[in-house]
Structure 1
Amino acid sequence: MADSGSTDRGAAYVVGTFDTKGAELRYVADLIRATGIEVRTVDLSTHPEGAESAATDPATDPAGDAAADPTTAHAAVADAAVADAAVSAREVASHHPAGADAVFTGDRGTAVAAMAIAFERFLTGRDDVGGVLGLGGSGGTALISPALRALPVGLPKLVVSTVAGGDVSGYVGASDIAMLHSVTDVAGLNRISRQVLGNGAHALAGMLAHRVPAAADKPAVALTMFGVTTPCVTAVAEQLVDRYDPLVFHAVGTGGRAMEKLVDDGQITAVLDITTTEVCDLIGGGVFSAGEQRLDAIARTGVPYVGSCGALDMVNFGAPDTVPARYAGRLFYHHNPQITLMRTNREENQRIGEFLAGKLNACDGPVRFLLPEGGVSLLDAPGQPFHDAGADQVLFATLERLVVQTADRRLVRLPHNINDPKFSNALVAAFEEVTR
């Protein structure tokens, strides 16, 4: 089916399972098309055989006598909806590494998982994607979202979903997917669904019609920050802003993952990973872990990297009553009513050092990792509640023992707190070394 409209901004991809949500998908596609935006409709049904037979079997023709049977009529309407998609489910499924038969297994769970793989390969291989609008319940959202996460940050992507009213972190990940709660199920057009789906359609159309002006043509550099390393990161950013576009990421798990996604996407020139605190939460079971993959994008890409021990003195939990019982008797600091900080001890600092050393050793690009002997945060300074030079020394000694230092991979000890201006100056000097 040929769609009309301008192609210089790319097409709006409307995606979903046309066998069950054909009417809703056609509705949003027509609304987007009416604004002058080119539309590509993509079927993600995991059992398209009915659609294939619909073209030749008059018994499934909605206009035929069989339509008098409600059950048959429903199947026929579903088949017709599948046929309306510009890109068939079988075409999408053919992008699976094992071929289309790996998708159409007859088992819903394995079929949805396989179609998600196929759709990601299909979508990331297209060169005309201007933006994507997906519709789905829990299964459809799980099917659609991996492909959207794989698209570059900044490319419009929106999912209208029944699960968008809850925790959507598993669907959004480190990307910029916009989630719109469908309110009613995506199961027919009614006074509520028409409005919500229409808002989603017009939102995507607006994103495509009104592009954000390009930023100044300066290379982007990533910096990681926490409240207790803000003075350091701010000072570093101020020294770089005339030559670089500083992108500051809040080191709360999603921040580290988002930063590394942009590194993988090639949108980051160099990294100043001043605040590696997400590793504490991985080791200690806190709420701000970025996962076992933290720093893997640095190793994969070889991007110039300057790191430090920012906020490695703390594991983050929620309100006090959420702290695991096994940590009774530990040193805590109540940051606010929702966040409780626990001081890392020597054993945890050794494990943190071991984790970081393994990641740094995997990096073949230029690496500098600076050790602030005067404390790793605002709370880890003489007279402050988390000051523990002994625990810090375990961390530093572990890194020095395990990191394989070379001409390109070096540790640097400095007798300053991480927020001392002399330390921020040293970070900038190291940055100049790895980027020259």
Structure 2
Amino acid sequence: MINVALLGTCDTKLDELLFLREAIQENPNVAVTLIDVGRHETRHEAIDYPHAKLVQSYGNGQDVSELPRGEVIKTMASYATKLVKELFNRGDGTHIYGIISAGGSGGTSLTAAVMRDALPIGFPKMIVSTVASGDTGPIVEETDITLMYSVVDVAGLNQVLRTVLSNAGAAIAGMACSYASRRTASASVSKKRVGITMFGVTTPAVDAIRKHLESNYDVETYVFHATGHGGKAMERLVREGALDAVLDLTTTEVCDHLTGGVMSAGETRLQAAAKSGIPNVVSVGATDMSNFGPRNSVPERYRLRKLYEHNPVVTLMRTSEQEATEVGDFVAAQLRQHAQDPKMIEVWLPQGGISMIATPDGPFADAAADAAMFKAIKDGLAGSNIEIKEDTRDINDASFARDIAEALMDKLRRYSKYE
């Protein structure tokens, strides 16, 4: 039997959760493990992990009923995360192959945290939510949670909600069965898995790198759009052991982190591959820019800066000389401080242009800013045993793309794990 975990606040959503449970079990090959993450204890024979058991076995036994709502969500999420990790790792018949929840904003926040923290990318995750049609970035973040809008509130069964929950139940059951069949397949991964970061202004380079690697080597490439969540997703896959090497061509998310742009991947960007010790070739693609929304959304302090409308919803701001120095300092510090094996890291500096629009005569051409960043990187990595390649070509030059791809393959061939 294939098990699916169903998370929910049974003190407020029991009828809806029981209906969803039955919808999932319409598939005769699927069973449900119902986990109560509510504030108060609820008694029902269908609940496999009641509130009290979750608090006693996976928490410290404290009474959460009087805590503020936000604290309840964080506390119950931490307890459920421990349980779900255990259910995922079990080798017996209670191992889970999918997870689903249904609820409002609070329940969505709680169960999304559990799914993000307890389960790897690729594991079936679904949330039926009242907030699934809004800004879903904080819910999904860098994971692959599937969201289904509930249309009506998850507050009393009616024809619309029954239809939505029935569809969701059938969907997660099918996803779990598919995942189980793939998980038990005997075929092993043979191709080396290479992560590459890309932005619109580095697309020609990434296309050339991808084609070169996949045409000449037993390699499968994973291209990540450097929009904040893209960088986080790549680094999550590195931590999960799902990538064998990284060609971090486009590190533009660092600019957004430092300037308050809308596509930051946070303060830990560049750490995962360095810490893992896997082959890691880094460049500075699109670090000539920070990203904002429509032109009228650019912060007042930046209104007089050099701006470029990439499209109606994305406005780019040229990195200043001071900001470029800060970007270089950040890149060097992250690599130097977190390198498990400095010889597996290499940094390429394309002096002919760091993006499609930063080449000579381009709208973001600024040789002084680029030189400041290059100097900060070189100074910051001096004596680190991390090799730096200074190249006169621009980042989208076809021969540059080929050579940086070969540099990664050279490290991958020398990586002891694959000798």
Does TM, scored on the shorter chain, surpass 0.5? yes
Contact 2:8-2:103 within 8 A present in 1 as well = yes
Shift of 1:102: 6.8
Mapped pair 1:26 → 2:18 = yes
User: For residues 195 and 268 of structure 2, what CA distance do their matches in structure 1 show?
Assistant: 17
CA 253–194 in structure 1, closer or farther in 2 if over 3 Å, else same = same
User: For residues 229 and 67 of structure 2, what CA distance do their matches in structure 1 show?
Assistant: 36
Corresponding residue number in structure 2 for 1:169? 137
Map 1:168-247 → 2, pairs under 5 A: 168-211=136-179, 217-241=190-214, 242-247=217-222
User: For residues 70 and 384 of structure 2, what CA distance do their matches in structure 1 show?
Assistant: 48
User: For residues 304 and 119 of structure 1, what CA distance do their matches in structure 2 show?
Assistant: 35
Contact 2:274-2:345 within 8 A present in 1 as well = no
Mapped pair 1:35 → 2:8 = no
Contact 1:277-1:311 within 8 A present in 2 as well = yes
User: For residues 405 and 147 of structure 1, what CA distance do their matches in structure 2 show?
Assistant: 42
Contact 1:102-1:111 within 8 A present in 2 as well = no
Q: 2:349 aligns with which of 356, 366, 371?
A: 371
User: For residues 381 and 201 of structure 1, what CA distance do their matches in structure 2 show?
Assistant: 52
Contact 1:94-1:118 within 8 A present in 2 as well = no
Contact 2:151-2:161 within 8 A present in 1 as well = yes
**TM, length-normalised to structure 2:** 0.90
Mapped pair 1:415 → 2:392 = yes
Question: Counterpart amino acid of 1:134?
Answer: S
CA 253–179 in structure 1, closer or farther in 2 if over 3 Å, else same = same
Corresponding residue number in structure 1 for 2:241? 266
Question: Counterpart amino acid of 2:51?
Answer: A
Mapped pair 1:432 → 2:393 = no
Shift of 1:94: 3.6
Q: Secondary structure at the match of 1:113?
A: helix
CA 115–308 in structure 1, closer or farther in 2 if over 3 Å, else same = same
Q: 2:270 aligns with which of 267, 289, 295?
A: 295
User: For residues 240 and 271 of structure 1, what CA distance do their matches in structure 2 show?
Assistant: 12
Question: Counterpart amino acid of 1:163?
Answer: V
CA 106–416 in structure 1, closer or farther in 2 if over 3 Å, else same = closer
CA 95–163 in structure 1, closer or farther in 2 if over 3 Å, else same = farther
Give CA deviations for 1:302-350 in whole Å, capped at 9, x if unaligned. Answer: 2321110001111111111111121132212221111111111101101
**Between Structure 1 and Structure 2, whose CA radius of gyration is higher?**
1
User: For residues 257 and 174 of structure 1, what CA distance do their matches in structure 2 show?
Assistant: 6
Q: Secondary structure at the match of 1:204?
A: helix
Contact 1:317-1:323 within 8 A present in 2 as well = yes
**TM, length-normalised to structure 1:** 0.86
User: For residues 47 and 150 of structure 2, what CA distance do their matches in structure 1 show?
Assistant: 22
Q: Secondary structure at the match of 2:35?
A: strand
User: For residues 358 and 303 of structure 1, what CA distance do their matches in structure 2 show?
Assistant: 18
Corresponding residue number in structure 1 for 2:363? 385
User: For residues 189 and 329 of structure 1, what CA distance do their matches in structure 2 show?
Assistant: 54
Shift of 1:108: 3.4
Contact 1:95-1:119 within 8 A present in 2 as well = no
Give CA deviations for 1:5-58 in whole Å, capped at 9, x if unaligned. Answer: x24xxx11111011221111111111111211121111112222xx4xxxxxxx
Corresponding residue number in structure 2 for 1:394? 372
Shift of 1:106: 4.5
Q: Tell which deviates more after alignment, 146-155 or 209-218.
A: 209-218
Give the unaligned 5+ runs of structure 1. 1-5, 52-78
Contact 1:102-1:114 within 8 A present in 2 as well = no
Q: Tell which deviates more after alignment, 193-202 or 322-331.
A: 322-331
Contact 1:370-1:414 within 8 A present in 2 as well = yes
Question: Counterpart amino acid of 1:41?
Answer: L
Question: Counterpart amino acid of 1:300?
Answer: K
Mapped pair 1:142 → 2:114 = no
Q: Secondary structure at the match of 2:134?
A: coil
Q: 2:50 aligns with which of 80, 83, 88?
A: 88
Shift of 1:301: 2.2
- Report % sequence identity: 39
Corresponding residue number in structure 2 for 1:110? 71
Give CA deviations for 1:269-319 in whole Å, capped at 9, x if unaligned. Answer: 111000000111111221111111212222432232111000111111111
Mapped pair 1:131 → 2:98 = yes
Question: Counterpart amino acid of 1:92?
Answer: L
Question: Counterpart amino acid of 1:275?
Answer: T
Contact 1:16-1:44 within 8 A present in 2 as well = yes
Give the unaligned 5+ runs of structure 2. 90-94, 415-419
Question: Counterpart amino acid of 2:340?
Answer: D
Q: 1:342 aligns with which of 314, 317, 329?
A: 317
RMSD after superposition? 1.9
